[in-house]
A and B are shown apart, each in its own frame.
Chain A
């Protein structure tokens, strides 16, 4: 058994739970794919599951499909991605800054609270069939003739727990970065100015150049990206917290006192603007900035060369932060009462700003790899390349739909969720998180990844499966197939069968990844993440004797 440090162990715990949530999200995704191929295919399983569900009466395939569709993104984003990000940042931020986490006690609190929040929100879908979808378009989640009242309350509670926890995590990150570790270290304000880039701006009169020496206060570019991305994370958490709290404010008086508050008190368009402004801080905010920061950290380490164009990328991250604050209207391009000026400016033009920021980011990392030739494609680097590919394909699809003209025929179709969202999440984000896991395992445990062959199977199975699924969904969308719609006809069945095969391929690749991960760590190390070490050592000693 390898001796793993306290923080390293927590990082691994976050990663393991994150991967378990990914497994759950994959299972839900595959089941929904089955329903999209044949609506009644899960009837046998559904009647079995009714024995553990807390609902009575007849439940239709549609009820089950939409409750899964509600839980799926919560598990995938907050369960998988956020857990992995929290674990990775809790290790990398203090490691790079050479100081300790400011509030160590918050690390386990974050771990358990996040699991509880995600499971409660998921449970609202699984046990009570809450079906308001993650979009929670007002007043659907409080229309109790369409969604279960108790499910709405439980989902709201889960969301509140998740977001409070995210705010605690962001607080701990900023506390760690901004706390003075030694008397001569930069204090709060100098660190903050440095994170924004003010010393660099003052010293060079605004001229961006790559050859100058770094400012002594300057933070590593990864930390800058994490800091700026975390501003979006905090905004997202506050907005989503308000959405969750609203479900409780409407649901609890109805449940406890039979008092029904008027949903019309909240304007649906205003709500939609507020909600998408916050929710989009994930899709167009922290995901892009955290991703850029992770590329800036990993690629120089993996190819053993200084990051190309570091001065420029610091400005790019700042531009990304500003862009992310003003792009939400691309989700409201089909809402005719939304002011057209906002749709054109925020929904289209500012959104296209991401083409510039991500275009420069990708150029920077590709140049870094190019200039470092010959390059050994380690497991982590392969997955980094896969994530770049995923972001290029998914990003371009996203920019195509962020258009006042083209959105008219693309909005709410399978195009959006397939070739844009799932390509970004499965091709871009998930591959990057796999790269981080492959890179961090040797650093955390001093163990090398056991099977290169399984790494290759994982890589090709995942990327080919993701492309198959995204492409089939995108094609179906271009033929008029809507997202969030369970078709009774077989019109789009061929596309859905291809998408299902893609999902299966990814599932197999994921299982091979887990096999390799457990083979690398060994059962004793995996068990030591959940069982007391002394007890485990004694048991293993007995077994050896």
Chain B
């Protein structure tokens, strides 16, 4: 290996280490609980999906800002996605919802607001219909 190659290889290694260290650290906000503290959830919300529909709790989803909420989604037919979106359309978080499995994610909302829910995985031609506006109310 020539000296230029060694130097370049060293540079590549530094980039790999830095990028991975930063993105695994709490500098990415949700890594602080999903990877490091892994807290016991304050609340559990179950969602049952089937036939292009979200089965949300009958009383709706209302959670407090800064509490840890565990979303548990199941599917009775095909693979769906469970995605939570801000009112401006940007994505907060998501997970795939595989049939025959319990699909869980813990989240902490940092601001009170209303959030939309949309399926993030294609499940057939009616997939775009899987959208619920203001499905989650986050209170102070």
Contact = CB atoms under 8 A, between A and B. Distances in A.
Interface stretch (A101-109, A183-191, A398-406, A436-444): A398-406
A268 interface: yes
Nearest to A399: B19
A51 B89 CA distance: 39
B5 A359 contact: no
Interface string A249-283: 00000000000000010011100100000000000
A487 B118 CA distance: 11
A123 B100 CA distance: 32
Interface stretch (A375-383, A409-417, A460-468): A409-417
B123 to A, nearest CB: 7
B140 to A, nearest CB: 24
A485 B35 contact: no
A2 B101 CA distance: 63
Nearest to B16: A352
A319 B94 CA distance: 33
Given A146-B124, A485-B127, A210 B2 contact: yes
A352 B1 contact: no
A408 B93 contact: yes
A58 to B, nearest CB: 12
Contacts of A403: 20, 23
A367 B5 CA distance: 10
A209 B30 contact: no
B68 interface: no
B128 interface: yes
Contacts of B95: 334-336
Interface string A324-336: 0000000010111
Given A269-B101, A335-B98, A408-B30, A348 B20 contact: yes
- Size class of A's contact patch? 35 or more
B98 A413 contact: no
Given A60-B125, A403-B23, A485-B128, A412 B9 contact: no
The secondary structure that dominates the A interface is: loop
Contacts of A335: 95-96, 98, 103
Nearest to A138: B79
Given A355-B12, A412-B81, A412-B94, A480 B89 contact: yes
Given A405-B35, A408-B93, A359 B28 contact: no
Interface in A472-518: 479-482, 484-488, 491-492
A533 interface: no
A312 B6 CA distance: 11
A408 B90 contact: no
Interface string B19-55: 1100110001011001100000000000000000000
Given A62-B128, A137-B78, A356-B13, A404 B94 contact: no
Contacts of B88: 480
B131 to A, nearest CB: 9
Contacts of A60: 125
Given A264-B100, A268-B99, A309 B2 contact: yes
B127 A484 contact: yes
Contact of B77 (A131, A143, A364, A411): A143
A487 B89 CA distance: 12
B16 A140 contact: no
B89 A137 contact: no
Interface string A227-256: 000000000000000000000000000000
A3 B56 CA distance: 71
The secondary structure that dominates the B interface is: mixed
Contacts of A484: 121-122, 127
A336 B75 CA distance: 13
Nearest to B26: A405
B30 to A, nearest CB: 7
B96 A334 contact: yes
A412 B121 CA distance: 7
Interface in B71-127: 77-79, 81, 83, 85-86, 88-96, 98-105, 118, 120-127
A268 B12 contact: no
Max chain B Cβ within 10 angstroms of own Cβ: one of A60, A336, A364, A492: A336
Given A334-B94, A403-B23, A413-B91, A268 B118 contact: no
B28 A406 contact: yes
Given A62-B125, A140-B122, A413-B91, 10 more contacts: A60-B125, A66-B127, A137-B121, A140-B78, A312-B5, A356-B13, A356-B16, A367-B4, A411-B94, A480-B85
Top 5 A-B residue pairs of the complex, sorted by shortest distance between their CB atoms: A146-B124, A484-B122, A405-B28, A480-B90, A359-B12
16 contacts: A60-B125, A66-B125, A139-B99, A146-B78, A210-B1, A267-B100, A268-B101, A336-B95, A336-B96, A352-B16, A405-B30, A408-B93, A412-B120, A479-B90, A485-B128, A488-B128
Interface of B: 1-2, 4-5, 8-9, 12-13, 15-16, 19-20, 23-24, 28, 30-31, 34-35, 77-79, 81, 83, 85-86, 88-96, 98-105, 118, 120-128
Interface of A: 60, 62-63, 66, 131, 133, 135, 137-140, 143, 146-147, 208-210, 264, 267-269, 272, 309, 311-312, 332, 334-337, 348-349, 352, 355-356, 359-360, 363-364, 367, 399, 403-406, 408-409, 411-413, 479-482, 484-488, 491-492
